[in-house]
Amino acid sequence: MTSTIGLRLKQLGIDLPEPTAAAAKYVPWVQTGNLIFTSGQLPLKDGVLTATGLLGQDMDIAAGQDAARLCAINVLAQLREALGDLDRVQRVVKITVFVAATPGFREHHLVANGASELLATAFGDKGEHSRSAVGVSGLPLNAPVEVEAVIEFD
């Protein structure tokens, strides 16, 4: 049986990838009580970064939003691995979006919308979340965006 969230993702043209393995000394997700904390997810597709560089220098806001969206898709892949069924998600509690950008870049919040909009579309009201959008000087592998999430489940 396909989950409601799985069907919604298919309608959006999204096939969740296999979750990415940890690239260093950490685990991709941790459960405590009824919360899942994901490690930061990069804009990887088939194990390859789809974008690199800094916002405000190497890419524009729309490309950054696309990268953030892909990060959110990878968060969902980790959640499916953790929960077995995305319909178990009761609430996307919070996401943190790290945006690698030039010192003068001021639109981190707009880049983060790429992840936020996907989660809200996928989960409806349960996908509305709190968020931090943080500008950084660089991210692993020269990724432009990284997204981590806290999810409540049943």
Strands 130-136 and 89-100: parallel
Q: Indicate the CATH number of 28-153 among 3.30.450.20, 3.30.1330.40, 3.90.650.10, 3.40.50.620.
A: 3.30.1330.40
Question: How far apart are alpha carbons 132 and 41 in whole angstroms?
Answer: 15
pLDDT for 41-96, tens place per residue? 999 999 999 999 999 999 999 999 999 999 999 999 999 999 999 999 999 999 99
Q: Residues near 70 by Cβ (< 8 Å), separated by ≥ 6?
A: 43, 44, 45, 50
Domain ranges of the chain: 28-153
Residue 4 has pLDDT above 70, yes or no: yes
Q: Residues near 130 by Cβ (< 8 Å), separated by ≥ 6?
A: 93, 94, 95
Question: How far apart are alpha carbons 25 and 30 in whole angstroms?
Answer: 14
> What are 141's two structure tokens?
């592998």
Residue with token string 């990415």: 20
Residue 1 has pLDDT above 60, yes or no: no
User: What per-residue confidence (pLDDT) applies to 58?
Assistant: 98
Q: Residues near 106 by Cβ (< 8 Å), separated by ≥ 6?
A: none
Strands (E) in 60-125, as ranges, are 89-100
Percentage of the chain modeled with pLDDT above 70: 99
Contact 101, 56 (CB under 8 A): yes
> What are 114's two structure tokens?
């790429």
- Would you place residue 23 in the very low, low, confident or very high pLDDT band (cuts 50, 70, 90)? confident
Q: Say whether 119 sits in a helix, a strand or coil.
A: helix
pTM above 0.85, yes or no: yes
> What are 98's two structure tokens?
């790290």
Does 117 or 3 have the greater pLDDT score?
Answer: 117
> What are 135's two structure tokens?
């500008």
